[in-house]
Structure 1
């Protein structure tokens, strides 16, 4: 993948463990997303149906296309 959405079950820093795992994984560490740290970390509430989805869409858009903002 060229871009990843990382789920952060905690309050802001839990995604780092997942990112460290991906950087060490034999296959994932070779992906464009991991090599270039192209990802956005979203809270659980932002990925489940509800009002937080609106903010999540903006975060994803800004992370994937920063030049547009």
Structure 2
């Protein structure tokens, strides 16, 4: 639909013009850069995290200090 107005006729065939290629390249670049930009705003876990996930626990469920 976007390229419908940016075509050149070559006899019976039609193809995109140079401006059409630039437009599609720009749209594709924006589509490729948008997800990483959006993902950069998703919060991550802070150091310390959730007890029991990456930290060893004692028999009573207390988090053991790994630095000891």
TM-score, normalization: structure 1?
0.27
TM-score, normalization: structure 2?
0.28
Structure with greater helix percent: 1
Which structure ranks higher in relative contact order (CA pairs < 8 Å, sequence separation ≥ 6)?
A: 1
Larger radius of gyration: 2
